[in-house]
Structure 1
Amino acid sequence: MFDFSGTLFRIESAREWLAAVLAQAGIDAGQDEITRYAGELERVGAQPGGTQPREADLPGHLVAAWEQRDLTAAHHRAAYTALSRLAGLPWDVHDALYARHMTPEAWRPYPDTAEVLAKLGTLGVPVAVVSNIGWDLRPIFRAHGVADHIAEFVLSYEHEVQKPDPRIFRLALDALGTAPEDTLMVGDNAGADGGAAALGCPVLLVDPLPAAERPGALLPVLDTVGGAV
């Protein structure tokens, strides 16, 4: 089982995100202005897949929305567009920013993602993607040529249950037809992805660095599986 964001793929930088949306909208903004407001978006945690806001810094009216953001598509959109409005942008591009983050162009696979997934397929190891998310990420995998390596997608908003709740991992295990002790969970968040350990799954954590800065963190997965086959 693999997490999506920060594990197999990484979102573009906040600056790239904002610059792309402004360019698409035909808004002429200076480089310093883009950098400044991208920093504000990052500070408030407005980019899905990017830096998360500190819960202590969330306005009271957004606490519940943040905690429930991955349970439905509507919750996800509402939470993140509300966060972007906290950044004080001089442009009304909140919906466009949200739309941009769901496109294949906004995501980069880690350098070893395709290699590891393909090798697992060669070994006959079924793979599930288990993600806390509010939209269908399957097109991202198709666009980057790795969808055929995934047997199951278990997405929180489709089941209204989110990590670390053991139920979402149980759904993936049942779909794969594998036992917890034989199923490795690979993720980047100890709190969320570590929830698989409650069922008896071993857990491997990686660092959610930008894609170019993390060339081979997934390769140990092959060592783990290779020792078991």
Structure 2
Amino acid sequence: MTAVLFDFSGTLFRVESTESWLRAVLRETGVALPEHELVQAARALEAAGALPGGAAPVELPTDLAGVWAVRDESAELHRAAYTGLSRRVRLPDPALHDALYERHMSPAAWSPYPDAAEVLRSLRERGIGVGVVSNIGWDLRPVFREYGLDAWVDAYALSYEHGVQKPDPRLFSVACEALDVDPRQVLMVGDSRAADGGAAALGCRVHFVDHLPVARRPDALRPVLDLVV
């Protein structure tokens, strides 16, 4: 293998819990909400699938199905999809829906998996190219910079910047071209068989990890180092 491509959410980083997300926004905006109402609202937001990188909607509203299917193809579609889901939940101030969306783009909303830095650094030391291929509607590079992981990433292929989302092979091809590598000598690491598995169409080898909370997945990325030998 000459390069490894990584997914972002659920692979290298994990977003905060829905309750933490809501608490942070209420604190930042100075909006007070009784504890039992806060917990209920957090549960409703999670069921709605309103947190990008969090749980999928339990039931996708018919009027949002179209935008949901292509949500990662542009920043506008991404915002429309997730704020549309958020607005299904009644909050004390309508402005909170936009504030919630803004919060999830903050580095503070994300935590790297415990072994992410070690694995990325080790790959770089071996001369293996590293790329990040993500279905996303905003620039995640500041998150990598905040946690010092950007030093180990050579290229980013973000869906909203190219108007195409995984599993479309074109997004993986963008990353391979940026790294100047043959896809047949590339390993794709992700948590979604439906999305990340699309790399196989180019001839990439694919390895999956579980999308678990950070504390419950301390070393799932380390096997990658054995796969590139």
| TM-score band, normalised by shorter chain | over 0.9
If the length of structure 2 is used for normalisation, what is the TM-score?
0.96
* 1:7 maps to amino acid: T
Residue 159 of structure 1: aligned partner: 162
Residue 84 of structure 1: aligned partner: 86
Aligned with residue 202 of structure 1, among 201, 205, 208: 205
1:98 pairs with 2:87 = no
CA RMSD of aligned residues (A): 0.8
Q: How many pairs does the alignment contain?
A: 224
Partner SS state of residue 200, structure 2: helix
Q: Could you report, residue by residue, the CA deviation over 1:49-103 in whole angstroms, capped at 9, with x for unpaired residues?
A: 000114xx22221001101100000000111000001122233200000000000
Aligned with residue 45 of structure 2, among 35, 41, 50: 41
* 1:6 maps to amino acid: G
How far does residue 142 in structure 1 lie from its aligned partner after superposition?
0.2
Greater mean deviation of Cα atoms: 29-38 or 113-122: 29-38
Counterparts of 1:101-180 in structure 2 under 5 Å?
A: 101-180=104-183
How far does residue 212 in structure 1 lie from its aligned partner after superposition?
1.1
Partner SS state of residue 145, structure 1: coil
Q: Distance in 1 between matches of 2:29 and 2:65?
A: 31
Instruction: State the identity %.
Output: 57
Greater mean deviation of Cα atoms: 146-155 or 30-39: 30-39
1:22 pairs with 2:35 = no
Residue 216 of structure 1: aligned partner: 219
* 1:143 maps to amino acid: E
Q: Distance in 1 between matches of 2:173 and 2:107?
A: 28
1:7 pairs with 2:42 = no
How far does residue 20 in structure 1 lie from its aligned partner after superposition?
0.3
How far does residue 104 in structure 1 lie from its aligned partner after superposition?
0.5
Q: Distance in 2 between matches of 1:218 and 1:32?
A: 38
* 2:171 maps to amino acid: I
1:73 pairs with 2:67 = no
Q: Could you report, residue by residue, the CA deviation over 1:24-54 in whole angstroms, capped at 9, with x for unpaired residues?
A: 1111222222111111000010000000114
Q: Distance in 1 between matches of 2:121 and 2:36?
A: 42
If the length of structure 1 is used for normalisation, what is the TM-score?
0.96
Aligned with residue 36 of structure 2, among 32, 51, 70: 32
Structure 1 gaps of 5+ residues are none
Partner SS state of residue 36, structure 2: helix
